[in-house]
């Protein structure tokens, strides 16, 4: 350290405290970076890498960005998941003795961004914290620093619960103890967490204690304290806009896990990861940024509280029936700016006069919104109208104080209206009158001297002066003016009177600028006192915006009000997939019914690929979600239970990040549903078992169906290509077969997309391949093979070129007769579930006998499907070895 120059020593001391951040070190008009920061930043930001001397033999790598354009560079780093520490000069360089003092004034991280393009208008920017307690449970808290929202909850001792909360929130940054399990931290990064930060301090910070006064458990307080300690350490400024911490319980909402949210495309699509094509995209007719954020929160967390759901549905209906009032509301809401984030900027100290003007224009819409809501019939809209806070004190203050079109800078003046402050008016009068006197002086001196080109000018170095060209100097009397400056073609002069007036004008202008900034800060502080009121108003406006959006979508797309059933009955008539219907637009969507009851808990859905099985399953789930967020639903009639959870297993994709195969992903998602579903849940299983061999897949599919039927009792839609499973309708009294119909027309398949009772009679796989555009000769050959296979009699002989199947072994060590090839008959194809043929003795090797003994000792009836799979995998591994 001693070998470096004093300035580099200062840099290294500050950098030692911010090892995980880029240090923007202020030097004059630039933020400079050195050493590793410079090497990395030059690559990430694509800026020039240079070097400088630092007191040692080797030159120090260096790069920098201009102070005035640093914001854009900072945002680029934040979007990539980095942190940026801003080190500013905290003393006047002219007064510094030695190296100018510098301190970090703020640490900007992905979870603490307050402005710029990193903040999406209609998305929250959440910072979360996780604390694990000795009993294994987790404390989970989160904040949106840009809006001031703070919440905390407790989660059971399951890592998946923590990961699911992070995923539902879309948290950009998570704060934890460095002692937290590294495996869990890795999984957090896999869930798209941009940054993981560490905070060990969990004692309450005095400045935040008021925000935690309503927390009645130590676990809540410790969890929230970790979050606030991190904010206190990194932000280093006023956070008066932060709202009191409120508690919530995960079970207060419909639980939709990460995989189900992904599979149902609630907020982003599977293919493009974008909003367009998602349920959120369909519903978003909001007019304000606040409304857009609340809509996303509602979609992420549908309610299970029937009273609240019914209230929202009532409001949606009242907006639907009041078309003209709704259109007026929309026009007024367009004039409302983002009150939540404006309040945050007021508290944070980075608000400007234009922001305050936006706040004023927003508040000026409240009386109009109140009047419109009062005209809509209904108790609920009346209550909404009365809950609107007009914030008259803020309106009066800003109307009197801020000019109509203020400048962007708060230190250039021309912000405060005339008449707001007497002292400011005096300074302005002196300045304006002084300038009038200057203009009159110029006219008088021209007349007195006869020099028409004489002018009175001003510059910052010499102040005011009288300028006369060299050609006209002869017209001046000796000693008439006092010489001030000589130019190539002119002379500049002053007079005692001009010098005196100059002092008055400049003093007035200087004091005028200082006073205006002081007055602006006072106005900002007065507005800050009303932040809780502004935040409450923002929530009401957001709710109005979301509900009018529901009404707009529901009316334009002919949705109906759902009715909730206490008997867990589902009756959806002419139901549609809301997003697919919108995407098809001019094409007619084929609606379908769904009827389920206590005697009809599981629908086993068969039918060809591309016929619409997955779409049908998804539309049932989306209908339930729409109903429970308070929106009308795409159907001609809808009777629904209130679901506590939705589970899906749809689609097939390897999880390359964590190294899991399609089949393992399939089984993990199935396990999640089986382990957590209740009788009040909705389960969608699409093609379970297709990721492994036919017999394995079929066995697992049947076992899962039986388990859900016999032990869980949840409403379940189960699609499959295993037509053999349709015989389960005879064995499981609450399972019913339905199929998606298709017909052949002139040798081509036509999908009718219509759900009908009973099993499908054909799979049409080759027809689908033909539709996909496979070569004609390949399709022709496939038809030949299919025809040949269908004509084969039941036999034990194998086609030429095929491998012999291993002979099945019974638990007592004997072999069975080889089974015939599966035929079209459902019962024949399920023959592997039947009693074995007459056995014949066979000798077993010692290792093989161990496997057989293991099978003999299994308690099959008490194994879950996942346990069965694990045992099967282990036995197979032993046999291979």
Write out pLDDT tens, residues 99-117: 899 999 999 999 999 887 7
833 pLDDT above the threshold of 60: no
Output the pLDDT for position 790: 64
Cβ atoms within 10 Å of 26's Cβ, excluding its own: 19
Kindly report, residue by residue over 523-532, the tens digit of the pLDDT. 999 999 999 9
Q: What is the mean pLDDT of the chain?
A: 87
Average pLDDT of span 661-666: 73
pLDDT reported for residue 54: 85
Least confident segment among 413-417, 444-448, 680-684, 870-874 = 870-874
Q: Which CATH class is domain 284-391+530-556?
A: mainly alpha
Q: Which contacts qualify for 261-265: CB closer than 8 Å, 24 or more apart?
A: 261/167, 261/168, 261/300, 263/618, 263/648, 263/649, 263/650, 263/651, 263/684, 264/618, 264/621, 264/622, 264/625, 264/646, 264/648, 264/650, 265/579
In CATH terms, the superfamily for domain 563-788 is P-loop containing nucleotide triphosphate hydrolases (3.40.50.300)
| Residue 98 assigned as binding residue | no
Residue 611 labelled as part of a binding site: yes
Topology of domain 422-524 in CATH is: MutS, DNA mismatch repair protein; Chain A, domain 3 (1.10.1420)
Sheet holding 645-649, edge to edge: 255-256, 645-649, 682-686, 715-719, 602-606, 735-745, 748-757
pLDDT at position 808 is: 42
609 is in an annotated binding site: yes
Distance CA 403, CA 174 (A): 42
Average pLDDT over residues 9-25: 95
pLDDT above 90 coverage of the chain, percent: 62
| Residue range 347-360, pLDDT digits in tens | 888 899 999 999 99
What is the structure's pLDDT at 96? Answer: 81
pLDDT tier, 764 (very low <50, low <70, confident <90, very high otherwise): low
Q: Are strands 592-596 and 682-686 parallel, antiparallel or unpaired?
A: unpaired
Residue 614 in marked binding region: yes
Q: What is the pTM of this model?
A: 0.81
607 is in an annotated binding site: yes
Give ranges for CATH 1.10.1420.10 in the chain. Answer: 284-391+530-556, 422-524
pLDDT score recorded for residue 843: 64
Whether 231 has a pLDDT exceeding 80, the answer reads yes
Domain 126-252 in this protein, CATH class: alpha beta
Q: Is 610 annotated as a binding residue?
A: yes
Q: What is the model's pLDDT at position 666? A: 78
Residues of the chain with CATH 3.30.420.110: 126-252
Q: Could you give the strand order of the β-sheet that contains 138-144, starting from the edge strand earlier in sequence?
A: 195-198, 173-176, 126-132, 138-144, 149-155, 246-247
Question: Annotated binding residue at 613?
Answer: yes
Residues of the chain with CATH 3.40.50.300: 563-788
Average pLDDT over residues 371-391: 96
Is 691 a residue whose pLDDT tops 90?
no
Of the candidate ranges 18-27, 582-591, 805-814, the one whose mean pLDDT is the lowest: 805-814
Residues of the chain with CATH 3.40.1170.10: 6-108
The pLDDT, as a whole number, for residue 842 is 56
Categorize the per-residue pLDDT at 862 as very low, low, confident or very high, splitting at 50, 70 and 90: low
Tell me the per-residue pLDDT of 714-739, one tens digit each, with 9 for 90 and over.
Answer: 999 999 988 889 999 999 999 999 99
CATH architecture of 6-108: 3-Layer(aba) Sandwich (3.40)
DSSP letter string over 697-760? HHHHHHHHHHHIIIII--EEEEE-S-GGGGGGGGT-TTEEEEEEEEEEETTEEEEEEEEEES--
Indicate if the pLDDT at residue 409 is higher than 80: yes
**pLDDT tier, 220 (very low <50, low <70, confident <90, very high otherwise):** very high
Which residue is listed with tokens 């990040």? 657
């Amino acid at each position: 350290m001693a070998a470096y120059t004093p300035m580099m020593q200062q840099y290294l001391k500050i950098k030692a405290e911010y090892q995980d951040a880029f240090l923007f070190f202020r030097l004059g008009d630039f933020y400079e970076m050195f050493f590793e920061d410079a090497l990395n930043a030059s690559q990430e930001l694509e800026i020039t890498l240079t070097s400088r001397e630092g007191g040692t033999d080797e030159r120090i790598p260096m790069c920098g960005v201009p102070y005035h354009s640093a914001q854009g560079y900072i945002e680029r780093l934040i979007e990539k998941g980095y942190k940026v520490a801003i080190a500013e000069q905290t003393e006047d360089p002219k007064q510094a003795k030695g190296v100018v003092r510098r301190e970090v004034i703020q640490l900007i991280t992905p979870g603490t961004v307050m402005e710029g393009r990193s903040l999406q208008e209609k998305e929250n920017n959440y910072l979360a914290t996780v604390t694990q307690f000795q009993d294994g449970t987790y404390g989970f808290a989160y904040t949106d620093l840009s809006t001031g929202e703070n919440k905390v909850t407790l989660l059971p001792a399951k890592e998946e619960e923590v990961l699911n909360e992070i995923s539902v929130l879309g948290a950009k940054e998570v704060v934890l103890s460095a002692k937290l399990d590294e495996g869990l931290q890795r999984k957090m990064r896999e869930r798209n967490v941009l940054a993981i930060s560490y905070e060990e301090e969990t004692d309450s910070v005095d400045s935040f204690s008021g925000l935690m006064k309503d927390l009645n458990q130590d676990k809540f307080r410790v969890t929230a304290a970790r979050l606030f300690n991190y904010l206190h350490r990194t932000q280093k400024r006023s956070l008066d806009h932060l709202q009191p911490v409120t508690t919530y319980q995960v079970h207060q909402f419909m639980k939709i896990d990460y995989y189900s949210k992904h599979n149902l495309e609630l907020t982003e699509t599977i293919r493009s990861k974008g909003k367009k094509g998602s349920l959120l995209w369909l519903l978003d007719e909001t007019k304000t940024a606040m409304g857009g954020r609340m809509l996303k929160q509602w979609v992420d967390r549908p309610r299970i509280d029937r009273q609240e759901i019914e209230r929202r549905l009532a409001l949606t209906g009242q907006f639907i029936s009041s078309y003209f009032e709704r259109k007026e509301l929309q026009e007024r809401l367009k004039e409302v700016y983002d009150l939540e984030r404006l309040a945050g900027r007021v508290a944070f100290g980075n608000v400007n006069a234009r922001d305050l003007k936006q706040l004023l224009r927003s508040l000026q819409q409240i009386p109009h919104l109140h009047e419109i809501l009062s005209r809509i019939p209904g108790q609920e809209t009346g209550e909404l109208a009365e809950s609107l806070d007009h914030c008259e004190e803020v309106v009066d203050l800003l109307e009197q104080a801020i000019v109509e079109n203020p400048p962007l800078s708060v230190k250039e003046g021309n912000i405060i209206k005339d008449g707001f402050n007497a002292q400011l008016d005096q300074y302005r009068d002196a300045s304006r009158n002084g300038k009038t006197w200057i203009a009159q002086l110029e006219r008088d001196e021209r007349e007195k001297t006869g020099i028409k080109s004489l002018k009175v000018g001003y510059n910052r170095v010499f102040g005011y002066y009288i300028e006369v060209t060299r050609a006209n100097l002869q017209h001046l009397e000796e000693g008439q003016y006092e010489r001030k400056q000589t130019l190539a073609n002119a002379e500049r002069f002053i007079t005692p009177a001009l010098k005196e007036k100059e002092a008055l004008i400049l003093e007035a202008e200087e004091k005028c600028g200082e006073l205006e900034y002081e007055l602006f800060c006072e106005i900002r502080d007065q507005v800050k006192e009303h932040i809780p009121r502004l935040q409450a108003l923002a929530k009401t406006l957001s709710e109005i915006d979301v509900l009018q959006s529901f009404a707009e979508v529901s009316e334009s797309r002919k949705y109906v009000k759902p009715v909730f059933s206490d008997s867990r009955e589902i009756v959806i008539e002419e139901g549609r997939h809301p997003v697919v219907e919108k995407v098809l637009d001019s094409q007619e969507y084929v609606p379908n019914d769904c009827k389920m009851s206590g005697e009809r808990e599981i629908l086993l859905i068969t039918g060809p690929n591309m016929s619409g099985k997955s779409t049908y399953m998804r539309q049932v789930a989306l209908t339930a979600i729409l109903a429970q967020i308070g929106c009308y639903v795409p159907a001609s009639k809808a009777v629904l239970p209130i679901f506590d959870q939705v589970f899906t297993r749809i689609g097939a994709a390897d999880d390359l990040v964590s190294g899991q195969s399609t089949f393992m992903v399939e089984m993990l998602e199935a396990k999640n549903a089986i382990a957590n579903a209740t009788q009040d849940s909705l389960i969608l299983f699409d093609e379970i078992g297709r990721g492994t061999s036919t017999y394995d897949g079929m066995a697992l599919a049947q076992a899962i169906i039986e388990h859900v039927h016999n032990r869980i009792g949840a409403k379940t839609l189960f699609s499959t290509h295993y037509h053999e499973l349709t015989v389960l309708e005879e064995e499981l009294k609450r399972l019913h077969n339905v199929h998606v119909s298709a017909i052949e027309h002139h040798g081509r398949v036509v999908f009718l997309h219509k759900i009908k009772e009973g099993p499908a009679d054909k799979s049409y796989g080759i027809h689908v391949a033909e539709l996909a555009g496979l070569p004609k000769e390949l399709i022709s050959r496939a038809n030949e093979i299919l025809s040949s296979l269908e004509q084969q009699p039941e036999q034990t002989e194998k086609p030429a070129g095929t491998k012999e199947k291993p002979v099945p072994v019974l638990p007592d060590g004997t072999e069975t007769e080889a089974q015939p090839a599966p035929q079209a008959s459902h019962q024949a194809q399920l023959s592997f579930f039947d009693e074995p043929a007459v056995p014949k003795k066979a000798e077993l090797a010692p290792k093989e006998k161990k496997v057989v003994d293991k099978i003999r000792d299994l308690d099959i009836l008490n194994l879950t499907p996942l346990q069965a799979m694990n045992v099967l995998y282990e036995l197979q591994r032993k046999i291979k070895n």
